Each structure stands twice: as C-alpha cells, then as structure tokens.
Chains A and B, each alone.
Chain A
Amino acid sequence: ETGVTQTPRHLVMGMTNKKSLKCEQHLGHNAMYWYKQSAKKPLELMFVYSLEERVENNSVPSRFSPECPNSSHLFLHLHTLQPEDSALYLCASSPRGGALGSGELFFGEGSRLTVL
C-alpha cells in the first residue's frame, strides 16, 4: 500500500488503558508528524520527527509518548488519557526534515480516538 497509513482507524479506550496509534509511510519521506484535530480547535502540531529524531514537542502532555523507530514508522503511545483527549489524530510525512521543502505534507486518514 502506498501513501500514509494509520491504524487503527477507530479506538475507544478507558482512562486507565494503554494503547498505541501506528503510522506507516511508503513514500520515502524522512520527516513524520503527529497532529491533533479536535472538533472546536484548529489542527494542532504535536510532534515532529526528522530522520528519526524528535525536533518539535510543542508542550504536549507526557501521557502522549511518540516513538519513531525508523523513517517509515511512527507511533503514538497513549497512557492514562483524559476524555478531553478524544480527537482525530492525524499522521503526516514530508520529503525533508526540519526544512519541509515544498511545504507539502502528506496526511493519513487519521485515527479517531474516544476516551471514556
């Protein structure tokens, strides 16, 4: 499969659960991103990885923990989340790291998270 793929597409979890979101890209890009999309807020940048090193944290709570084992895979580990963390989590990739090159991000379809 080509492009940016996110799994699972939907996730329901309790506040005490531990779960992970996965993102995979087959575009040969070396920068990957996590964005949070809430109903009443703009897209919020959470994390950026360039060449597998984190370059932007953006003051995200520690209950969100990213992992980038290689340039094709990105995870978002979730632990003791709150109901207000319910949102659509979008993964994106771009051809270059800190310099976005053309400025084009390639997005996945998102993982819809509901925290009960």
Chain B
Amino acid sequence: AQRVTQPEKLLSVFKGAPVELKCNYSYSGSPELFWYVQYSRQRLQLLLRHISRESIKGFTADLNKGETSFHLKKPFAQEEDSAMYYCALRNAGNMLTFGGGTRLMVKP
C-alpha cells in the first residue's frame, strides 16, 4: 500500500522568508511525485512534477528516495503563494494518492 504524509497542516511564514512544505511517502515501487495547489476560490491544479525537474513560480521539489521525501521549497515566499498544497504519488497502476494537504500562509 502507498501512503503520502504531509506532517504540517498549517505553515505560516513572513513574506520574503524561505518556505519548505514537507512531504513523505511510502511506496514499494518506483514512485512518481507531484505537487498540486489550490488557491483561494480556485480549483485544485497541478503545480509541478518531479520527473520534469522544473521550477514553477519559484518552487522546486527534489525527490529523495533515501529519505522517501519530496519536499516543496521556495527561497523567498510571496503573499500570492498563500494556498493549500497537496503532495501526490502516482503508483504503477497510474492512480494518484494525495496527502492531507498543508495550508501555507504568507504574512506581509
């Protein structure tokens, strides 16, 4: 069975501070990890995927298989980054399992 854990339900930082949203997973196979985001009054949408190794809106995430983690990072948080962030894992059967989500609040 697979599981995605986001240990922090709420993360509050000041504008300009670094931010790291934690994600840990358990899965016996080779995982594919994703981060989804939901801004206020908007629908859930894909932010980035680990296989692309891309930076979206200044966010990056590195898959660490040794630590089974896929933490989302941004060096300088902006107020518009305030949202719910969900980590997700795709298994060999191509089904997505989501973590419980972390609400990021960026204070001015």
Contacts and interface: CB of A to CB of B under 8 A. Distances in A.
Nearest to B6: A42
Contact of B96 (A41, A98, A103, A109): A103
- For the residues of A in contact with B, the DSSP-based class is loop
Given A41-B100, A42-B100, A45-B97, A109 B43 contact: yes
Interface residues of B, number: 20
A105 interface: yes
Given A41-B100, A42-B4, A99 B94 contact: yes
Interface of A: 4, 41-43, 45, 48, 56, 90, 98-100, 102-110
12 contacts: A42-B99, A42-B101, A43-B98, A56-B95, A90-B44, A100-B94, A100-B96, A103-B49, A103-B96, A105-B36, A105-B44, A106-B45
